[in-house]
Structure 1
Amino acid sequence: MSWSDKGQQVRGLLLKTDWYLCFGIVFLLCVLIGLTTAALKLNEVLNDADALPIEAVAIKGERKYTADAEIQVALQDLMQRSFVSADVNQVQKALEALPWVYQASVRREWPAKLKVYLVEQTPVAHWNGDAWLNMYGDVFDAPTKQGIPSLPLLTGPEEQGQAVLTTYQQLGELLTINGFALQSLSLSARHAWHAKLKSGIELELGREDNMARIQRFIDVYPRLASQDKKVGVVDLRYDTGLAVDWDDAQKESR
């Protein structure tokens, strides 16, 4: 075979190889285009609220202060999304932003339902007049609702909510087992405690030894009650004794 024949044979093989290569590249491009188109179409369908709407939201958990209407308003914008594109974390945040919701958990249930479990705030005290303390001592702001029981009035520096609640519970338990009821407790900016009983008696407790001073009041109260006067304020900020302001004396001085 001459060099000319060999050259023609090589050129034929190269042309054939180029043809296969071009065909392979075109086929690969067609496959890629097809996959991209399918992915875009699938993404469009998954994000189409008309094609895959959220058909229902099931709310569970005991609710006293959060109405269905409040939940509907909170989820109004999110419900315009498709079932797949709805972000459950955003749904959770929207629900937990409601004033009386303490915690919310959200999960999808195929084919088109969101399941929500709500835990409401449990108020245990009024805090600084216009806020509340929950059972964990956390401060939260929420409007007053019907059905909220009578709660103690607690006041103090904003960051001391849990400490004031804990002290209230400790003092309240000691007073209750001895026949008294604690109505309010306040902590001043200088960390001095002031308590008021439901009977109207006020107790100045100072900065320390609260339990011991409450016990001193309990021990001496029978003697105070035997007087033909009404107890107004009992100052227990002494190491061993106490001072009494009689309610009648206060009225006479006014």
Structure 2
Amino acid sequence: MSWSEKGRQLKQRLKRIDWYLSLGLLFLLSVLATFAWGGIKLHELLNDADALPIEAVAIKGERKFTTDEEIQTALQSLMQSSFFNADIVDVQHALEDLPWVYKVSVRREWPAKFKVTLQEQQAVAHWNEEAWLNIHGEVFDALAQAELIDLPKLSGPDDMAEAVLTSFIQLDELLTINGFKLASLRLSPRHAWQAELANGIKIELGREDKMTRIQRFINAYPTLVNSDKTVAKVDLRYDTGFAVGWDETNKRTENK
């Protein structure tokens, strides 16, 4: 076979290869276009609230102060979304922004339902007159509730809220087993403790040894009530004694 014949055959093979390559490339492009078109349509479907609407939202958890109206308002944006494109984190945050809500978990349930588990704040005390403390010693703001009016009144710097609650529990436990009830506890900006009993007696505890000092008050109280005067205030900021403020005379007597 001559060189010219070999050259013609090689050119024919190269043309066939180019043809096969073009067909293959065209097929690949058509497949990619089909996938792209399908992806666009799927995205449109998943984000179409009319095509895949959220049919129900189930709310679980005990509620006392969080109303259905508040929840419905918080979920307005959710109900305008489709089942798939609704942002669970946004829903969770919207509900946790409600005043009496502490924690929320949200999950999808096929085919068109959301399950919301809601945990309300458990208030254990008033805080600085306008806010509340929950069981974790965290400050939160919410409207007053009549049934919580008798909760103890605590106050102090916000960053000391947990410490104030812990001290209240310790002092109240000691007082309760001795027949008293602690109504309020305050930590001043200078970190001095001031307490008030349910019977109206105010107690100055100072900065240190508040448990020892409250025990000193408990031990001395039987002597104080034997007086014909009413105790208004007891100052325990002494190493070994205390001072008493009497209701009727406003005089203070030293007891050492």
Q: For the superposition of Structure 1 and Structure 2, which TM-score range results when normalised by the shorter chain? A: over 0.9
More divergent stretch after superposition (128-137 vs 11-20): 11-20
Give SS of 2:145's match.
Answer: coil
| Counterpart Cα distance in 2 of 1:8 and 1:158 | 92
In the TM superposition, what is the alpha-carbon distance from 1:148 to its structure 2 partner? 2.8
| Counterpart Cα distance in 2 of 1:55 and 1:100 | 26
| Counterpart Cα distance in 1 of 2:155 and 2:49 | 49
Report the equivalent of 2:145: 145
Q: Write the mapping of 1:21-60 to structure 2, written as runs, cut at 5 A.
A: 21-60=21-60
Q: Write the mapping of 1:47-86 to structure 2, written as runs, cut at 5 A.
A: 47-86=47-86
**What TM-score, normalized by structure 2, do the two folds share?**
0.95
Report the equivalent of 1:128: 128
In the TM superposition, what is the alpha-carbon distance from 1:149 to its structure 2 partner? 5.3
| Counterpart Cα distance in 2 of 1:66 and 1:214 | 39
| Counterpart Cα distance in 2 of 1:244 and 1:49 | 72
Q: Write the mapping of 1:108-127 to structure 2, written as runs, cut at 5 A.
A: 108-127=108-127
Q: Write the mapping of 1:159-170 to structure 2, written as runs, cut at 5 A.
A: 159-170=159-170
**What TM-score, normalized by structure 1, do the two folds share?**
0.96
| Counterpart Cα distance in 1 of 2:15 and 2:146 | 88
Report the equivalent of 2:16: 16
In the TM superposition, what is the alpha-carbon distance from 1:237 to its structure 2 partner? 0.7
In the TM superposition, what is the alpha-carbon distance from 1:78 to its structure 2 partner? 2.2
2:222 aligned with 1:206: no
In the TM superposition, what is the alpha-carbon distance from 1:63 to its structure 2 partner? 0.6
Give SS of 1:223's match.
Answer: helix
| Counterpart Cα distance in 1 of 2:32 and 2:197 | 79
Any gaps of 5 or more consecutive residues in structure 2?
A: 252-256
In the TM superposition, what is the alpha-carbon distance from 1:3 to its structure 2 partner? 2.7
Give SS of 1:249's match.
Answer: coil
User: C-alpha offsets along residues 67-86 of structure 1, whole Å, 9 cap, x if unaligned?
Assistant: 11111111111221111111
Let me know the Cα RMSD of the aligned residues: 1.2
In the TM superposition, what is the alpha-carbon distance from 1:157 to its structure 2 partner? 1.3
Q: Write the mapping of 1:81-96 to structure 2, written as runs, cut at 5 A.
A: 81-96=81-96
Report the equivalent of 1:182: 182
| Counterpart Cα distance in 2 of 1:191 and 1:144 | 28
Give SS of 1:200's match.
Answer: coil
Give SS of 2:8's match.
Answer: helix
In the TM superposition, what is the alpha-carbon distance from 1:24 to its structure 2 partner? 0.7
Q: Which amino acid aligns with 1:196?
A: E
In the TM superposition, what is the alpha-carbon distance from 1:10 to its structure 2 partner? 1.6
User: C-alpha offsets along residues 126-162 of structure 1, whole Å, 9 cap, x if unaligned?
Assistant: 0001010000100111112343352001111121101
Report the equivalent of 1:7: 7
| Counterpart Cα distance in 1 of 2:160 and 2:244 | 29
In the TM superposition, what is the alpha-carbon distance from 1:89 to its structure 2 partner? 1.3
Report the equivalent of 1:217: 217
Report the equivalent of 2:254: none
| Counterpart Cα distance in 2 of 1:158 and 1:181 | 24
| Counterpart Cα distance in 1 of 2:146 and 2:51 | 42
In the TM superposition, what is the alpha-carbon distance from 1:6 to its structure 2 partner? 2.2
Q: Which amino acid aligns with 1:79?
A: M
Percent identity reads 63
| Counterpart Cα distance in 2 of 1:206 and 1:3 | 113
Any gaps of 5 or more consecutive residues in structure 1?
A: none
In the TM superposition, what is the alpha-carbon distance from 1:245 to its structure 2 partner? 0.8
In the TM superposition, what is the alpha-carbon distance from 1:59 to its structure 2 partner? 0.5
| Counterpart Cα distance in 1 of 2:145 and 2:37 | 54
In the TM superposition, what is the alpha-carbon distance from 1:13 to its structure 2 partner? 1.2
